[in-house]
Amino acid sequence: MEQIIEFPDVLELVEKRELPREIYAPDGTLLFLPYEPAIESPLIANRKKWRLFANYSLTDDYEVVRINTTGQLIRIKEDPDIDEMMGYVRKEHPGATVEEVISFALESTVEQTGEFKDDDEFGAYALTLYLMLAYLIHYGVLILVKD
């Protein structure tokens, strides 16, 4: 039986204070620095330039996806935001910029749950999405292409 890697629940990591200090892409590119000012995270700083492509295939189990390049299985629990971002890159717009992917997830959130109450909530939500995206790249689900 193939080993399945568990994709983490990002908010749980935040709450349990288990978030690492740095998140890297499989090729060693630094993506995210949770404990530093947001703008210092390369994924945020290059949000308008870096593009994303899907690197996964669906399996019979909806929660388990196979990484195309390595064949590794990853269990990603159903999550509206993660699913939307993955689906957007795979089906709607392969090669979308990081910003487009985040905007798509934010737009869907606003559409379904109403306006954010203030900038703080909006900022926190957007940063959570960036964090999720960093993890998706880190686990190889999405491939980052730097222009």
Partner 1 sequence: MDVYTIINDLLDYAYWGALIFSIAAIFAGILGVALGNQRLRKFLISGILAIIIWAAIPTLASNLLKTQAPSSVEFFVIALGAFAFIYGVYNFAAGNYSKAAWLAVAGIIVVGVFSLPFFNTSYNTSYQVTVTASVNPQIGFAPLTTTLTINAPGVNSATYCINWGDGSTSTISGGSSVTVSHTYNNAGGYGVIITVKSGNSTGETFVAVNVLSPPNIPWPFNAIVEGIESGLLGIANFLNAPFDFFWTVPQFPTSGQLWNLYEIILSVSFGAFGLFVVLNVFSNAVSDEDVGAALVKGFKEVVLVALAMLVVPYLYNIIASFLDQVVDALIPFANPGALLLGAVTIIGAGFGAGYFVPELADLGAALSIALLIATALSIIRMIVIYAGILLSPVFLVFSLFPATKGISRVALELTMGFILAGPFSAAIFAVLSIMAGQWGLAGNLGLEVASPFLLQVIPDLLGFGAAKGLMGGFGITAPKVRQNSSTGQGSSENQKVTTVPGSIGRTSSSADTQQSQVVTVPVRGHEVKLNQQYGPMGIIGRVRNRGTGTVTREDIAGDDLERKPYVPRGYKITGEKDEVAGLVHRREWQIKETRLHALGSGLKENYKAAAKELGKSLSVRFDALMEKYTGVKPIEAIRREVGDMKLRRANKTHKKTR
Give 3 or 35: the residue with its C-beta nearer to partner 1.
35
36, two tokens: 């530093």
Shortest Cβ distance from residue 120 to partner 1 (Å)?
A: 5
Shortest Cβ distance from residue 52 to partner 1 (Å)?
A: 14
Give 25 or 89: the residue with its C-beta nearer to partner 1.
89
- Strands (DSSP E) along 7-137, which ranges? 23-24, 30-32, 51-54, 56-58, 64-67, 73-75, 96-97
Q: What are the DSSP calls for 109-130, one per residue?
A: HHHHH---SSHHHHHHHHHHHH
Binding site for partner 1 (CB under 8 A): 11, 14-15, 17, 19, 32-39, 41, 44, 58, 62, 65, 78-81, 83-84, 86-88, 90-91, 99-100, 102-104, 106-113, 115, 117-128, 130-131
Shortest Cβ distance from residue 53 to partner 1 (Å)?
A: 15
Among 27, 35, 99, CA closest to 70: 27
Backbone angles phi, psi at 136, to 5 degrees: -60, -40
Shortest Cβ distance from residue 11 to partner 1 (Å)?
A: 6
The answer to whether the CB of 84 falls within 8 A of the CB of 113 is no
Give 19 or 73: the residue with its C-beta nearer to partner 1.
19
How many angstroms separate the CA atoms of 144 and 134, rounded?
10
Shortest Cβ distance from residue 107 to partner 1 (Å)?
A: 4
Give 52 or 86: the residue with its C-beta nearer to partner 1.
86
